[in-house]
Amino acid sequence: MRKFSFSILLLTLLMALTTLNLSAQRGERDDDDNWGGDRFRSRQEERDASDLREGKHQDRSRNSSGELNPFFARPGFAATTGGTTAVSSIIDHGGPVMNQPVIYVIFYGNWNQTNGSDTAAGKQIVLDWAAGIGSTAHYSLNASYAKAGYPTNGTAVFGGSTTLTGSYSTRLTDAQILSTIVSTINAGQIRRTPTSPNFDPNGVYFLVTSSDVTARSGFCTQYCGWHSASTQTFGRLRYSFVGNAKRCVTSCAAQSTVSPNGNPGIDGTVSVLTHELEETHSDPDLNAWYDSSGAENADKCAWTFGHFQFQTANGSWANISFGGRNWLIQRNLLNGASDFCMVDATHN
């Protein structure tokens, strides 16, 4: 009896231990499936590598907890400065670099709303950014990505803009984003001059959406913006999607209550636009400059704004001034022996 009872007790104990071990393994898998903790980082890197293979590079602006902007600034406090030490090197994979990108902006959605963001004034902020960013000391950091056969002087120019009217989708697929840009180009709706060809091979075409529009592949949940390339009948197209950060201002902007231009959503959008433009400049076909994990130049400095910040009259923070405005723009990687994230060549 005792021997039998002891055997039953031992068997019961072994079964309990086995159950605990299985439960612990299930817990690990659950955490992995929920993208929690450090496991998210490796899963996200796998997703980004997959996106590169499929021809789209997302804005890699997450921390290990899966937050799009892990460095959201509290009201009254400066945005995250970021480190002052060198980051891991970026690698030349042999692909082309753009010489001088030409910025084209296609406004999509409803830009006549009364929400204080999707407005004519909001569009003007984007247009002032497009007209001025390419001649700043900040943007000149991209000159460090010049290489044999692909010179670049680290500048960009504004080519033009258009606003699409009529009915529109509020849940765009990636295919719809591409087809919208292609049809706009083919229709001659966005050209540098009235007599210019419909397509500019040096162009970077941005689809900028109002805050009532999302991208079904993950705007506000997986990314804040992305850039890609596609071969069309008219040539090699470099293009980007960036939505109005008002839709998820604490995820895709650094300041939610006040911002340099009084429009936190659009000010956040401008920072992401700069991020995607700089990556397209240095890696237009997704086969040029990126590191061993797939991170491009601006990815390596995402959501850090440097030590050169100043407070504006409305109490918000900025780090760059041009075009009669102040801006808070993410740092970029100065390529070369230093490999520092910088606001410009002399300020990190």
pLDDT value of residue 157: 98
pLDDT value of residue 136: 98
pLDDT value of residue 75: 52
Separation CA 332–CA 36 (nearest Å):
28
Quick one: 295 exposed, middle or buried, by C-beta within 10 A (0-12, 13-18, 19+)?
A: buried
The string of pLDDT tens digits covering residues 193-228 is 999 999 999 999 999 999 999 999 999 999 999 999
pLDDT value of residue 50: 36
Closest CA to 240 of 230, 251, 253, 225: 225
3-state secondary structure labels for all residues of the chain: CHHHHHHHHHHHHHHHHHHHHHHHHHHHHHHHHCCCHHHHHHHHHHHHHHHHHHCEEECCCCCCCCCCCCCCCCCCCCCCCCCCCCCCCCEECCCCCCCCCEEEEEEECCCCCCCCCCCHHHHHHHHHHHHHHHHCCCHHHHHHHCECCECCCCCCEEEEEEECCCCCCCEECHHHHHHHHHHHHHCCCCCCCCCCCCCCCCEEEEEEECCCCEECCCECCCECEEEEEEEECCEEEEEEEEECHHHHHHHHCCCCCCCCCCCHHHHHHHHHHHHHHHHHHHCCCCCCEECCCCCCCHHHHCCCCCCCCEECCCCCEECEEECCEEECCCCEEECCCCCEEECECCEC
pTM for this model (two decimals) = 0.82
pLDDT value of residue 86: 87
pLDDT value of residue 342: 96
Rounded percentage of the chain residues whose pLDDT exceeds 70: 78
Residue showing tokens 């670099």 = 97
Q: pLDDT 10s per residue in the chain (348 long)?
A: 323 333 333 334 334 433 333 333 323 222 222 222 222 222 233 334 334 333 566 554 443 333 466 555 555 567 788 888 889 999 999 999 999 999 999 999 999 999 999 999 999 999 999 999 999 999 999 999 999 999 999 999 999 999 999 999 999 999 999 999 999 999 999 999 999 999 999 999 999 999 999 999 999 999 999 999 999 999 999 999 999 999 999 999 999 999 999 999 999 999 999 999 999 999 999 999 999 999 999 999 999 999 999 999 999 999 999 999 999 999 999 998 789 999 999 999
Tell me how crowded residue 68 is: count the other CB atoms within 10 A of its CB.
24
